Amino acid sequence: MQIERREFLSALALAGAAVFSGNPLLAATAPKKEKLGIALVGLGYYSTDLLAPALQMTQKCYLAGIVTGTPSKAEAWKTKYNIPDKNIYNYQNFDQIADNPDIDVVYVVLPPSMHREYVVRAAKAGKHVFCEKPMAPSVADCEAMIKACNSSKVKLAIGYRCQHDPNIQAIMKLAKEPKFGKVKMVTSAAGYFDARTDHWKQKKALGGGVMGDMGVYALQGARLATGEEPISVFAQASTTRPQIYKEVEETMMFMLDFPSGAKASCQTSFGINMNYLRVNYEKGWARLEPQSGYNGNKGSMSDGTLIEFAIKNQQAKQMDEDCDAILQGSDLLVPGEEGLRDIRVVEAIYKSAASGKVVKI
């Protein structure tokens, strides 16, 4: 009975969601929202220090609810952000979010191993879903998440804030409008020294490992700069702190081949502070440093062009643009399919690192 009720409510919610997907027929039957209500699932560092503050600046969405397993966190957030009790969920009653018209979007900010479950549950609850990167530990997970959102006719966006940053967009543009000719060589690095010794990023079961975490920035640098998908990869995993990085790699170095002949050398590490992107074209170069900072990404091109777009808040821009796409019924900038593209490469990288051989993708 419970399930039936949930499915019924889910269908109702779906109808509501369809309004924001731009269905003109349904749009006539419900008032169009100006701002979408977002519920953050998982109140760790990223939600606390980045997303919640960003949601105080957004125009197209606001912090409507939270999902947390820690009562003390619920209490603190409730007070700080004036969140009504009815919009506060835990992992047991999460699915009841389907009944809540205040919540339009569920933003999954949990460790990667939990992304699939909560994205699928959110989709089944009829909510649009934002999912933090890495999308999930496996291609199979990503495909299931995309399928669930398609089946429920809800949108799925990956939290790749960088793709909303005009600085990396300037590099992406050089692949599409080749001012300096074809891309020949990319160097892309993203890492930081993580002093923590007992964090989910160090646990395999939770989807840890640097490759999914900072590694996807290094990978995105190469994919976005070339505008292509790699066709083969060679990778080497290593660690300098085996007592901490027992289950997952601390550092991953990988080389990518692209169909055009472009090549990339990428590095990512939880042991090294580094963050840059360097692209050599037939007739010039472009670079960003940092390439994937929370702010201050900037760079230059060989013709003297400076890349230094200032944005108020990266996460606010990302959530506003994604919510605007939902409200307008237009395409998302970074849909689930884009997260899947990365995880396809990440799987190949792990396969190469384990085998010591080049892996075709």
Which span sits near its own copies by CB under 8 A: 115-123, 146-154, 257-265, 326-334? 257-265
List the catalytic residues.
133, 217
Q: What's the chain's length in residues?
A: 361
Which span sits near its own copies by CB under 8 A: 144-152, 169-177, 268-276, 333-341? 268-276
Among 63, 189, 277, 286, binds its own copies (CB under 8 A): 189
Q: Is residue 253 within the footprint of its own copies (CB under 8 A)? A: yes
Which residues, in sequence order, are bridge partners of residue 292? Answer: none
> What's the token pair of residue 34?
């100006």
Q: Is residue 305 within the footprint of its own copies (CB under 8 A)? A: no
Among 54, 64, 255, 319, binds its own copies (CB under 8 A): 255
The beta strand positions in the chain, using DSSP E, are 36-41, 61-67, 88-89, 105-108, 128-131, 156-158, 183-193, 232-238, 251-257, 263-269, 271-281, 284-288, 299-301, 306-307, 359-360
Q: What is the DSSP string of 19-45?
A: HHTT-HHHHTTSPPPSSEEEEEE--SH
Say if CB 52 and CB 77 are below 8 A apart: yes
Q: What is the DSSP letter of 102?
A: T
Count residues near its own copies (CB under 8 A).
32
Give the number of other Cβ atoms within 10 Å of residue 328's Cβ. 12
Which span sits near its own copies by CB under 8 A: 89-97, 143-151, 248-256, 340-348? 248-256
Q: Is residue 357 within the footprint of its own copies (CB under 8 A)? A: yes
Among 273, 304, 312, 331, binds its own copies (CB under 8 A): 273
Q: Is residue 44 within the footprint of its own copies (CB under 8 A)? A: no
User: For residues 246 and 283, which CB has a smaller minimum distance to its own copies in the complex?
Assistant: 283
3-state secondary structure (DSSP) of residue 244:
coil
Q: Is residue 335 within the footprint of its own copies (CB under 8 A)? A: no
* Site residues, its own copies (CB under 8 A): 184-185, 187, 189, 191, 193, 234, 236, 238, 240, 251, 253, 255, 257, 261, 263, 265, 267, 269, 271-274, 276, 278, 280, 282-283, 285, 356-358
